[in-house]
Amino acid sequence: NNELRNIHYLQAKEWIFEAGRTIRKKINDPMVVDTKSSAKDLVTTMDKNTEYFFAEKIRKTYPDHFLLSEEGYGDDLDSMDGTVWIIDPIDGTMNFVHQRRNFAISVGIYHQGVGEIGFIYDVMSDVLYSAKRNNGAFKNDEKLEPLKKHINLDESIIGLNHYWLCNNHLVDEMEMQKLVRKVRGTRTYGSAALEFAFVAEGIMDGYLTMSLAPWDVAAGIIIVNEVGGITTNISGDPVNMLTTNSVLTCNPSIKNTIINDYLYKKK
Ligand code: LIP
């Protein structure tokens, strides 16, 4: 119910700010960086410690809630029943390691599979994007405007992850090049969560990438939805929170063109 949801919202916000303060305090400490699935897939002790911080808090405060998360402190879930926190402690770890900025804490809270609460916290800028389902989205205390009713693709700025779009059998590189030529501009920020936040803010019109994990998108989907944006996989189907997904989040007016004209592989 609504009262309970407000409690979870305030609680999550407090933990996010606390985690953010810790990260900022330690931002110049020497880092221990490891690789995971490849040399491009980084993890640091800060990712692990931050996730552990959330996992401990959630387990103590809400023992009946579940956690899906990136660094191993979460539950192994095969359904979205109950209340599930989906957390990326540092989304944009490569930015964290190389730039010490442009990364975010991403927290989505789902109830029976429905996204109820989303937070994306740009830690170094101290900017919090947040949303509760059917309550609008906010950038700090300022309510975000609904997305423009209509936008043409050739007036759009689209976030693309070039690596994934050039290394994935689901898309055709030539079609991607056509898309890049068609749009007004492309951007790559290196944090999926922040790219969702920028779509919600209306400073980008879409974001397209492959192989995102649930914790990269869980909060973003909720926040984008609250300003009238839409998120699907590249076939136009809903994103599944229990698997990796190709993801398109955008102003609804450009969704069909991107999917039909550029994403289906031409035979
Ligand atoms: C990363 C994303 C990045 C995306 C990678 C990865 P991490 O998250 O935010 O933009 O392209 O696939 O998922 O690993 O830094 O939390």
* ipTM, two decimals: 0.94
How far is ligand 1, taken at its centre, from the CA of residue 215, in Å? 9
Query: In this model, does residue 162 exceed pLDDT 90?
Result: no
Tell whether 164 and 79 lie within a shared domain: no
Which ligand 1 atom sits closest to the C-alpha of 164?
Answer: 11
Tell me: do 115 and 15 sit in the same domain. yes
How many domains does one find in the chain? Answer: 2
The CATH number assigned to the domain holding 190 equals 3.40.190.80
Q: What is the atom index within ligand 1 of the atom nearest the CA of 41?
A: 14
Domain containing residue 70: 2-143
Residue 132 sits in the same domain as residue 173: no
Quick one: average pLDDT of 43-59? 97
pTM, rounded to two decimals:
0.97
Residue 92 sits in a domain of what CATH number? Answer: 3.30.540.10
Q: Are residues 189 and 207 in the same domain?
A: yes
For residue 30, the model assigns a pLDDT of 92
Is residue 182 domain-shared with residue 221, that is, in the same domain? yes
| Residues 182 and 92 reside in one and the same domain | no
Would residue 42 count as lying in a domain? yes
Q: What is the pLDDT of residue 3?
A: 93
Which pLDDT tens digit goes with each residue over 105-141?
999 999 999 999 999 999 999 999 999 999 999 999 9
Residue 148 lies in a domain: no
Q: Which residues line ligand 1 (CB under 6 A)?
A: 70, 88, 91-93, 161, 190-192, 209, 211-213, 216
Q: What is the mean pLDDT of residues 83-99?
A: 98
Distance from Cα 267 to the centre of ligand 1, integer Å: 30
| Structural domain contains residue 238 | yes
pLDDT tens digit sequence for 238-247:
999 999 999 9
- Residue whose Cα lies nearest atom 1 of ligand 1: it is 92
Within 10 angstroms of residue 183's Cβ, the number of other Cβ atoms is 21
Q: Clarify whether residues 132 and 88 are in a common domain.
A: yes
| Index of the ligand 1 atom closest to the CA of residue 189 | 10
Residue of 31, 191, 198 to test ligand 1 pocket, by largest number of atoms within 8 Å of CB: 191
244 located within any domain? yes
Helix residue ranges, H only, the chain: 2-25, 45-61, 93-99, 162-166, 173-182, 192-201, 214-226, 252-257
* Distance in Å, CA 84 to ligand 1 centroid: 21
Cα(59) to centroid of ligand 1, in Å? Answer: 26
The answer for 112, left when phi > 0, alpha when psi is -120 to 50, beta otherwise, is left
